[in-house]
Structure 1
Amino acid sequence: MLQEVLKQHQSTFQPVITLLHPDEQLLVMDFTANNTTLTKPILNNIDRFCSYITHTLADSGCRLGIGGYNEHRTIYAVSPHFDAGEEPRRLHLGIDVWGLAETPVSAPLNGHVHSFRFNDDFGDYGATIILQHQLDGYTFHTLYGHLSISNLQGLYERMPIAAGQPFAWFGTPSENGGWPPHLHFQVIIDMMHYRGDYPGVCRYSERDKYLQNCPDPDLILQLNRNTHG
């Protein structure tokens, strides 16, 4: 299984987000219904939402926040992007790392550009880059969402990206789908027909199918060991 291969190679992966020091702490951020401080008036105003993230991190003494894999998120009710069809999409399939705009993003291992796109619907990824990797006979992909649109300039499919190479940074709300600055990082085995996009949120009824295709991103990120909160 890919999960076992990723575990075996963890010591070789380069940081996607470089920490200031090995023991830097990240704040676990909860975007489920359990977080009663994140109210609709905050979610519906991007300036207030950005301020909420900034102050929550500052109050905890942390530069970065993290969380979200396999999390049932009520916050997606604010965007019609997640509500098409009879059952809304609420289950988050990636890990979010929250921080300042222009926080650098690097490749964890060698790969190449699979595809990229500006997914500009409100609540979507905004600027998105997907890399493809080979490891011990497995092919898989890493998706980077909510980037700066300038990161798409000069890219081409199959462009090599080396392990540890900075290739993007956190975008601003005007270019990242209307969110406070953060990185959505997701591991995807089978891209199916998608290019420059792949669901980062699924219907709860499809949870098992999507989680099987999108294993825990922290197998690569390895940031949850630095968390508190």
Structure 2
Amino acid sequence: MTKILEIFRCIEAAKVIAPEIDYNDYIALDLSISNLELQNHKLETAQDYEIFIQNHLDKNQAKIAFGGYIETRNLYQRSTVFKNTNSDERNIHIGLDLWINETATIHAALVGKIHSFQNNTALGDYGPTIILEHEIEGIVFHTLYGHLSEASLLGKKVDDVVTKGEQIATLGLPPINGDYAPHLHFQIIIDMEEKTGDYPGVCSEKILDFYKNNCPNPNLLLKIN
């Protein structure tokens, strides 16, 4: 684990969404249960979140809002994917979200190949999803791109080679994207655990330690200021 973190720190910053937008035009966004501002807004639908996020962008004269790694959130409670009677509630986000209320291109963080892809159609899930596989200095790991457009999956084949910065998709809109305000869920995954086309992006507190190790902070690759 130490070696791969060192590798990530040495890699040049990767832009995975709308690369023409400078990091100076990014603003952090807190959607955690500890953000008291959220309690002053009725946030139930994708449109509610779009308005809230756009107001945050406008207030800060920003174009993309980012954040959410290891953030405990309430926004998943509407979905049985995350809250049901058969398992522990999953409410801790283990990827990094990049929110932008407009069409945007999605780009590969690093050179690699397509590991898998599929449309995860359940309410609150990723919607169309692409997972890439990378290898650096003999270490294999993966990056996941969730909440894409349906067209992003057309023409894709497993093992297709991609280059760093290559456009691999476009951002999805609700309800196709799992019915969220438009955003990219970007996640690093070391061990895919034999999963294809999907991997948990939200976990329960009980198994958080495992996912913190298997899914290190995506900002190690993005290097957002």
Superposition TM-score tier, normalisation by shorter sequence: over 0.9
Aligned to 1:6: 8
1:20-65 Cα shifts (integer Å, max 9, x gaps) = 33x5232111111122333597332222221111122111111000
CA root-mean-square deviation: 1.6
What is the identity, as a one-letter code, of the residue corresponding to 2:67?
G
1:161 aligns with 2:162: yes
> Where does 1:132-147 land on structure 2 (aligned, <5 Å)?
132-147=133-148
Aligned to 2:35: 35
For the 8 Å contact 1:128–1:197, the answer to whether it is kept is yes
- Whole-Å separation in 1 of the counterparts to 2:115 and 2:33: 35
* SS across alignment from 2:36: coil
What is the identity, as a one-letter code, of the residue corresponding to 2:7?
V
- Whole-Å separation in 1 of the counterparts to 2:189 and 2:137: 16
- Whole-Å separation in 2 of the counterparts to 1:161 and 1:152: 14
TM-score (normalizing by structure 1): 0.91
TM-score (normalizing by structure 2): 0.92
Aligned to 2:102: 101
What is the identity, as a one-letter code, of the residue corresponding to 1:6?
F
1:92-133 Cα shifts (integer Å, max 9, x gaps) = 110000003321111121111100010011110011000000
For the 8 Å contact 2:116–2:132, the answer to whether it is kept is yes
* SS across alignment from 2:158: coil
- Whole-Å separation in 1 of the counterparts to 2:91 and 2:40: 16
What is the identity, as a one-letter code, of the residue corresponding to 1:67?
G
What is the aligned-residue identity percentage?
Answer: 37
- Whole-Å separation in 2 of the counterparts to 1:119 and 1:41: 29
Give the deviation of 1:219 after TM superposition: 0.8
What is the identity, as a one-letter code, of the residue corresponding to 2:146?
G
What is the identity, as a one-letter code, of the residue corresponding to 2:47?
D
